[in-house]
Amino acid sequence: MPTAATFRAPTDLDRGSAEYLGLVESASGHTGAALQSLAAEVQDHLTTVVALVDGRLVGLAAYETGRTSTVLRYLAVEGTRREDGLGRALVSAVQAAAPDAPVVAETDDDAVGFYRRTGFAVTALPRDPRRPDVQRYRCLLAAGGR
């Protein structure tokens, strides 16, 4: 991981930036009005941590901490930074928020390898008949796990 990486809660300035919206878009696949709506929902309902390198937003994790688990809803790292360990560091930051609770995420084929490499146990979910061509996975990182 780059030594210059810092992690913190996003500021209002961050949330209005093209980089922030690009990360939310990357994590969700939403664009246009749906992206704007999701960004507002993330701000209002989820805890978010961002990763910065040289003052630039390059990563984002948005999650909610429940009574029995921490649910990672969105995770994104800028494409040019995906091999820098930032995704793993963002997962660690999420886990640190509630170290006694497992971290749970859902993903598809595009990111399941990342979750496996990060120490998550991965289970295929039943196919959704509305999208039978997309395999989804439940990913579980045990409390204190890796």
| pLDDT for res 1 | 45
Tokens encoding 132: 């039978």
pLDDT tens readout for residues 26-80: 999 999 999 999 999 999 999 999 999 999 999 999 999 988 999 999 999 998 8
Could you tell me if 124 and 134 are in contact, meaning their C-beta atoms sit under 8 angstroms apart? no
The mean predicted confidence, pLDDT, of the chain is 91
Could you tell me if 9 and 52 are in contact, meaning their C-beta atoms sit under 8 angstroms apart? no
Q: H/E element holding 47?
A: strand 47-53
Query: How many Å apart are CA 98 and CA 142, to the nearest integer?
Result: 11
SS3 state of residue 137: strand
